[in-house]
Structure 1
């Protein structure tokens, strides 16, 4: 591909996050530095049966010590996951009447099934070569591996895109909060916007993952719609305090968290409502626990990810951080598509050899590019 830095790319991003809800697809136009255009976004939900298979895969992957190994059902799961992503691309392009040939590049996240950066180990299911073959488009995938191999946390990776999106928001300092299965925050300072020195990011703790798992276990529901179950319950603050005693929260960033770093044992025995309320309060308190690690308190919080639709979580988080928190849509940003858009953006940066991780975002020693490029 002959495109160079400074040229506009049309890139498609694919994201399957830790909430295991489905495949997010988005298209952006970018030169690798600026967001020049944002197109339609769509989500293709997983079936309940496949979501259960992914949960089983998480348990099986917990035993991995080699990121290339696919024992047992993981090989079949990876193949099927890749096929689902190819189908999502096909449906998306057809639904929005976009010619496949107009897509310069696909950014493919895959599905994280294990993330242990302290062991220099991160595993994302997804066969980039197979996806390129099925879609007929160049693919960039495995974007976390180089950072982890270099001693970085391998997460979060979206901050470079958050910074590009925030160029049109005047409030500073600004926090972009992604409420996925795991929450992460990007802090952007007042001065020299766009310089790496003013960009700090890290995982704050669980966001929706534990709440989703609790609702699945106690109610047979995939998530707490709108936070309605939590709203009916009572927060057990002693349990929240006990969970916050985990050393992760006192650890200085950069830092990242595996989806399954916490289990539901602390709320076992509570009613579904009290358990949901307590876990929601814990997710909010985990965000507030990030405040001592920020150079300055944010003047504004912008929330993206599925958790922004949980009214109880948003209210609790705003109360605990003591600052306005608004959904991304208040700033003409599609909060559902930010992660998929970010993967499109990172794919272009990877293809151009530009850095995608930084000392202030993953703890890597120096700004680093990453990803595997598969041409067609």
Structure 2
């Protein structure tokens, strides 16, 4: 099978910037990891993206760009192009000629029950500006084939699971947990296809809470939450949402959970309680897995919140399972999603499946993505 070098670009539901990573893969295994980089959005641009979520509610067709969404899409794309150029200039010479760029774009609307998902990002413009082929729009074909268009990272998680070092390599079933704005899991059995679904809010409610109540964009290191306590009644109200009773595949839009149930809490109590909501939602996902996992591997920005990880660890220990963060297994937890988009671009180029019935609900394993050349 061909060996390709790809850069992956991810701007996730936390809307805090662009993550970039480069790797080499044959579409089955990751054969070499390269460097990674993060480019933060300034506060004003982040607020502009947040405001676009309201505008995006008017979208009824994937190509619709009401209000200023067309201009925002161009700016998002140009910021990605500038980030790619800076990233390539920073790379060792052996990495400076990638075969592909995997471009996620910025999700502004996700309505799987309507077969509608919208990521702002102009793949053709990015290819022209960056000077390399771009694979983008990787969710749409899954939806055409009956899937929810999310999560897409499980194919990559399954590849990572095959390369875990000892003692983790033999600890199956293993579950990769990506705690971004929305959390999702990938269950990797000893044999067979992965099982995956969104589990609930990850960082998004915490970010919204501390921004509104404390005037800061996120709770760095869980510092604010460390001054507060868990309000169990609020956690219970969040977990009473019908979403948690549904089996996978299932996926969420960033706006599916709100701060309404946390109203009236003090700043620190709210931050601590919402961190517990994130952890308990992840633990609750076990109800919909074929077997309880032996190992949880936490990736994404939420792994830096000691309260999310600590609560997850306490819950997992009750089931004799171990919780580690990505770095404990020699992985880069900041770069995992960007790496995934590089890996998926390679699989797309080779015509390999990106999604499976057990991950998105598509009718059969299906590839996807659109290629744009410079």
User: TM-score scaled to structure 2, two decimals?
Assistant: 0.96
Residue 258 (1) aligns with residue 250 (2): no
What corresponds to 1:166 in structure 2? 161
What corresponds to 1:89 in structure 2? 84
C-alpha contact 2:138 2:368 (8 A) present in aligned 1: yes
Alignment equivalent of 1:41, drawn from 33, 36, 40: 36
- 1:270 and 1:60 mapped to 2: Cα distance? 29
- 2:148 and 2:250 mapped to 1: Cα distance? 6
Alignment equivalent of 2:323, drawn from 319, 322, 325: 325
What corresponds to 2:128 in structure 1? 133
User: TM-score scaled to structure 1, two decimals?
Assistant: 0.95
What corresponds to 2:335 in structure 1? 337
Residue 106 (1) aligns with residue 101 (2): yes
- 1:21 and 1:369 mapped to 2: Cα distance? 29
What corresponds to 1:3 in structure 2? none
C-alpha contact 1:7 1:31 (8 A) present in aligned 2: yes
- 1:99 and 1:76 mapped to 2: Cα distance? 36
Q: CA RMSD in A?
A: 1.1
What corresponds to 1:313 in structure 2? 308
Between Structure 1 and Structure 2, how many residues are aligned?
A: 366
C-alpha contact 2:119 2:137 (8 A) present in aligned 1: yes
Give ranges in structure 1 of 5+ residues lacking alignment.
1-5
What corresponds to 2:367 in structure 1? 369
What corresponds to 1:248 in structure 2? 243
What corresponds to 2:214 in structure 1? 219
1:219–1:50 distance in 2 versus 1, CA, 3 Å? same
CA deviation digits over 1:294-324, x for unaligned, max 9?
1111111101100000111110121223332
- 2:146 and 2:129 mapped to 1: Cα distance? 33
CA deviation digits over 1:135-185, x for unaligned, max 9?
110000000111122221111101111111111231111010001000011
Alignment equivalent of 1:13, drawn from 8, 12, 36: 8
- 1:338 and 1:117 mapped to 2: Cα distance? 24
What secondary structure, in the 3-state scheme, does the structure 2 residue paired with 1:364 have?
coil
Residue 346 (1) aligns with residue 351 (2): no
C-alpha contact 2:296 2:324 (8 A) present in aligned 1: yes
Task: State the Cα distance separating 1:248 from its structure 2 match.
Answer: 0.5
CA deviation digits over 1:191-250, x for unaligned, max 9?
x3xx42xx1010000000110010110111111111111121121111111111111000
CA deviation digits over 1:64-113, x for unaligned, max 9?
11110111110110000000000000111112244786110000000000
C-alpha contact 2:88 2:96 (8 A) present in aligned 1: no
C-alpha contact 2:181 2:204 (8 A) present in aligned 1: yes
Give ranges in structure 2 of 5+ residues lacking alignment.
none
